Every structure is written in C-alpha cells, then in structure tokens.
C-alpha cells in the first residue's frame, strides 16, 4: 500500500515499495545495510553522480521481490503539485508490463485536473484492466459505521435519520 500523499517523486515511491517488500523478510530491518541505503535515497537523489541509486536498488531487488506483487496506490488526487502524473502513469505501466504487478488505484478522479484526466485517458487502456466506480450513499456509509460501532440494529433507522438530519457533511467525523 502506497499513498501518494507526501511522496515527492516516482523514485520516492519506488523506495517505499521496495522497503515495504523486503522489510517482512528481515532483509531491511532497522540497522541493516539495505535499510541504511534505502533511508538515504531521498538525500542521495540530490547528487547528480548517484541520482540513479533508487533505480539500481529497484532493479536489483525487483526481480526477487517485486514480480507478481499486488500494489495499491491511494490518494492519487493528493499528490504534490510538482509530482509528475505522466511519469507516475509510465511507472505503473512498467510495474504491470515488466514486473507483472497487479495495480490497484484508489482515487477521486473528480479532483484531478484536466491535463491529468487527459493523461489518464491516454494510459488507461494500457494500465487499467478493470474499473470500479464506488459511490456509496450517505445512508450506506452511516449504516456501515453503525454496524462497526456495535449499535443494535433496532436503533439503526433512528441513528441514520438523526445523522442525515444533522447537516453533518463530513461522515468521517461521526463517532
């Protein structure tokens, strides 16, 4: 799972993916050599002579750990302004075609700008096999929250009605 929120570049994403993939195996545990290298990548990328270190690590570790992996990218609409959307889509294409990764994209495409929507349209056929448009109603969301909270079903209709009548627009804040 990788959120694009607070990731500065595709190289930053690559580092996060590889670190997450190798950590459970013990290879990148804190203090190990690869952990130290991976933690330095954002700093090292600023130096022209070794700007491809992240790519090298991905290539070295990729064959063993990346192939066939399911990777979920979330918060795509929250990427930084300077984050290159077309480079990101190209990266997804490489993950899918070269590494046979299964990619899950979670985004609010209504928050993407026109240029990004155009780019997505160009790459869509290449990187997206299935598209699911998930738009639950407020009632469905509230019922799900009620179910998770353990409130008895006999009170469900009353709670739903009260919340809907409360003019609360951010359902995440309901507790």
| pLDDT, tens only, 57-83 | 555 655 567 788 899 999 999 998 888
| pLDDT, tens only, 113-154 | 999 999 999 888 888 888 888 888 888 888 888 888 888 878
The model's confidence at residue 16, banded by pLDDT at 50, 70 and 90, is: confident
CA geometry: angle at 112 spanning 106 and 114, to 5°?
A: 140
- Please classify residue 31 by burial: count the beta carbons closer than 10 Å to its beta carbon, then call 0-12 exposed, 13-18 middle and 19+ buried: exposed
Query: What percent of the chain stands above pLDDT 70?
Result: 72
pTM: 0.67
**DSSP bridge partners of 49:** none
Which comes out higher in pLDDT, residue 83 or 39?
Answer: 83
CB 122 within 8 A of CB 85: no
Give the torsion through C-alpha atoms of 110, 112, 116, 122, to 10 deg. -30
For helices 114-127 and 85-97, what crossing angle results, to 10°? 10
**DSSP bridge partners of 74:** 3
Query: Helices H, strands E: what count in the chain?
Result: 7, 3
Buried b vs exposed e over 15-25: b needs ≥16 C-beta within 10 Å? bbbbbebbbee
Token readout for 65 is: 């750990």
């Amino acid at each position: 799972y990788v959120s694009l929120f607070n990731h500065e570049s595709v190289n930053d994403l690559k580092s996060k993916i590889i670190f997450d993939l190798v950590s459970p195996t013990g290879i990148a545990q804190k203090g190990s050599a690869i952990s130290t290298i991976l933690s330095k990548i954002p700093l090292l990328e600023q130096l022209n002579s070794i700007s491809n270190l992240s790519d090298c690590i991905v290539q070295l570790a990729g064959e063993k750990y990346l192939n066939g992996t399911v990777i979920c990218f979330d918060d795509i609409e929250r990427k930084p302004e300077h984050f290159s959307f077309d480079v990101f889509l190209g990266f997804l294409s490489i993950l899918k075609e070269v590494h046979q990764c299964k990619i899950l994209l979670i985004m609010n495409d209504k928050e993407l700008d026109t240029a990004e929507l155009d780019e997505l349209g160009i790459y869509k056929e290449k990187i997206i096999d299935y598209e699911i448009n998930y738009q639950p109603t407020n009632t469905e969301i509230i019922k799900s929250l009620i179910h998770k909270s353990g409130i008895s079903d006999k009170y469900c209709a009353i709670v739903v009605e009260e919340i809907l009548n409360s003019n609360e627009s951010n359902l995440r804040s309901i507790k």
